[in-house]
Amino acid sequence: MTQVEAVARHYDALDVHYREIWGEHVHHGYWRSGRERPEQATRALVELVADAAEIRAGARVCDVGCGYGATSRWLVAERGAAVVGLTVSAAQHRHALADLGGAENPRILLRSWLDNGLPDQAFDAVIAIESISHMEDRARVMAECHRVLVPGGRLVVLDWLAGEGASRWQRRALLDPICRDGRLPELNTLRDYARLAATAGLTEVHGRDISAHVWRTWPVVLARGVRRLPSDRELRRLVLDRSHAEHGFITMTVRVLVGYATRAFRYGMLTARRA
């Protein structure tokens, strides 16, 4: 099974749980004060990306790993952008199209980023929220970002990362199982991402660790899952049945929280520009 197939199967198998527990955005929230409601934090993270990518009315945007298309739809509705989103999950693609109700913007494609078929210099901005960590050959991932951007176009990446000083035991006990259960080939550091972007020819490369603003996502997700257990037979099966292909995703939640607490697991934001 290829990496793309493994990621697609993961999201297809957990489709209902992602939509009902994580919500339509399927990514972290961004807490500025720590007092925001989860829905406000989720929107704040999208706004953070849109501002960093300098997305304005008429901007052509590619949403790499768009999931159910919620961020793509927000960029159309709130920023007046023209958006193309890509997902490898057939379940996500199906729900995204249903939510669009026939609208042509955003355009959601069932397609891998490493085989995207998009034209050169087609976008003013490329955004990738928690998707590049699922991909192999990240040098080629960044090269594709560079290729499809117009000169002066912006790249904004938010992603799961390894801490710069993660020890051997932290990798063995935390990061390696997170990769296995989250269908991630490996976890890079923020410096790795910056180096890959620069090697691809991108300029004005800047990385920022925003873990302190996003870690609260996981207690929210854990609490939502616990509340659903009594009434959700499929979720109970996922928790209790060790033979379930995605059983490890449950324990991954705890590992991520421990990873944040020990700084072995981080969350970063990378911005860059095509010269």
Q: What CA–CA distance (Å, rounded) separates 66 from 161?
A: 19
Q: Domain range holding 50?
A: 3-274
pLDDT(53) > 90:
yes
Q: 143-180: per-residue pLDDT in tens? A: 999 999 999 999 999 999 999 999 999 999 999 999 99
Tokens describing residue 162: 């390894």
Q: What's the structural domain count of the chain?
A: 1
pTM of the shown model: 0.96
**Crossing angle between the packed helical segments 3-13 and 90-100, to the nearest 10 degrees:** 60
Work out the average pLDDT over 122-130: 98
Instruction: Quickly count: other Cβ atoms within 10 Å of residue 241's Cβ.
Output: 11
pLDDT(217) > 80:
yes
List, in order, residues 6 or more apart from 214 with CB less than 8 Å away.
28, 29, 30, 31, 45, 267
Q: What CA–CA distance (Å, rounded) separates 228 from 35?
A: 24
Q: What is the pLDDT of residue 271?
A: 98
Look at 16 and 49; give whichever has higher pLDDT: 49
Tokens describing residue 140: 């080629």
Look at residues 253, 181, 247, 184 and name the one whose alpha carbon lies nearest to residue 219.
Answer: 253
Helices (H) and strands (E) in the chain, counts: 13, 7
**Cα separation of the two ends of the chain:** 38
pLDDT-derived band at 245 (thresholds 50, 70, 90) equals confident
pLDDT(235) > 90:
no
CATH value at residue 157: 3.40.50.150
Q: What is the pLDDT of residue 237?
A: 83
Distances (CA, A) of 209 to 128, 167, 268, 273: 16, 19, 4, 19
Q: 67-108: per-residue pLDDT in tens? A: 999 999 999 999 999 999 999 999 999 999 999 999 999 999
Quote the radius of gyration of the chain (alpha carbons, Å). Answer: 18
Residue reference for tokens 């955003």: 106
Element (H, E) at 144: helix 138-148
Q: What is the pLDDT of residue 13?
A: 92
